[in-house]
């Protein structure tokens, strides 16, 4: 069974950084693209970006490219999202997801809640 | 960026009814369109990919259609467990973008 478990969320002050992790199991992690999506409270889904199997290609939504960094450790079956210069607009639930051979996110984690507030 | 315009924003329907949700892309996305279902307090779940391909395990009452810039999700014989928000997503070109969502409730 595919399982994705996010961690590292919490309350963070404006301007600070935070790193989320996504532990993957139940599939061959290093064979798949992986991605991040976020959802602000009561709002829709926002695609953050995706990383390929060997980290040679990473695509971001342009508005977040200078703030967020996606990385992965295939030896640890873990995906990461490094977030910097956080503002209140970054308050959201952050989901990691695996990307299928059809280029869509076919398995999602339960989400990590990030609240940016002083 | 490709803009995805989804309608309606909310929808109220009765059990057994057929429901249709629309999604329009700002340019041709060549069937690079997925539909996701998100139940309250849960993660999104993939329903449809390639505009009309049903994801594994998704009930056959869900179907997708469309081409070019116009796509739709149809739910036949609405069930209580279909109460959720539905989002379209284009994955034809980066950055991938989602529609604003449709909240489906029971009448």
Q: What's the rounded Cα separation, in Å, for the pair B6 and B21?
A: 7
Residue A60: closest C-alpha in chain B: B95
Is pLDDT of A21 > 90? yes
Inter-chain contact B87–A44, Cβ cutoff 8 Å?
Answer: yes
Is pLDDT of A60 > 90? yes
- DSSP bridge partners of B24: B5, B70
Is pLDDT of B2 > 90? yes
What confidence tens digit (pLDDT) does each residue in B40-95 have?
999 999 999 999 999 999 999 999 999 999 999 999 999 999 999 999 999 999 99
Q: In chain B, what is the straight-line distance between the N-terminal and C-terminal CA atoms, in Å? A: 36
**What pLDDT sits at residue A116?**
98
Residues of A in contact with B44 (CB under 8 A): 37, 45, 95, 105, 108
Is pLDDT of A101 > 90? no
Residue B6: closest C-alpha in chain A: A44
Q: What is the mean pLDDT of chain B?
A: 98
Q: What's the rounded Cα separation, in Å, for the pair A48 and B69?
A: 23
Question: Tokens 């990461």 sit at which residue?
Answer: A80
> Which residue among B1, B43, B100 sits closest to A110, beta carbon to beta carbon?
B43
């Amino acid at each position: 069974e595919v399982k994705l478990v996010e961690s590292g969320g919490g309350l963070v002050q404006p301007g600070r950084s935070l790193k989320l992790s996504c532990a993957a199991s139940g599939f061959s992690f290093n064979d798949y693209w992986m991605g991040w999506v976020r959802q602000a409270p009561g709002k829709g889904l926002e695609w953050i970006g995706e990383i390929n199997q060997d980290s040679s290609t990473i695509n971001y939504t342009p508005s977040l490219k200078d703030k967020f960094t996606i990385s992965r450790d295939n030896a640890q079956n873990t995906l990461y999202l490094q977030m910097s210069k956080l503002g209140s607009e970054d308050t959201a639930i952050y989901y990691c997801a695996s990307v299928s051979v059809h280029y869509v996110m076919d398995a999602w984690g339960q989400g990590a809640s990030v609240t940016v507030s002083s | 960026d490709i803009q995805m315009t989804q309608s309606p924003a909310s929808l109220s329907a009765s059990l057994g009814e057929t429901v249709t949700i629309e999604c329009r892309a700002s340019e041709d996305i060549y069937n690079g369109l997925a539909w996701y279902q998100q139940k309250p307090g849960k993660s999104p779940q993939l329903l449809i990919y390639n505009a009309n391909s049903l994801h594994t395990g998704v009930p056959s009452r869900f179907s997708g259609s469309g081409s070019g810039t116009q796509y739709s999700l149809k739910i036949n014989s609405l069930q209580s467990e279909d109460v959720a928000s539905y989002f379209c997503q284009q994955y034809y070109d980066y950055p991938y973008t989602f529609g604003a969502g449709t909240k489906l409730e029971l009448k």
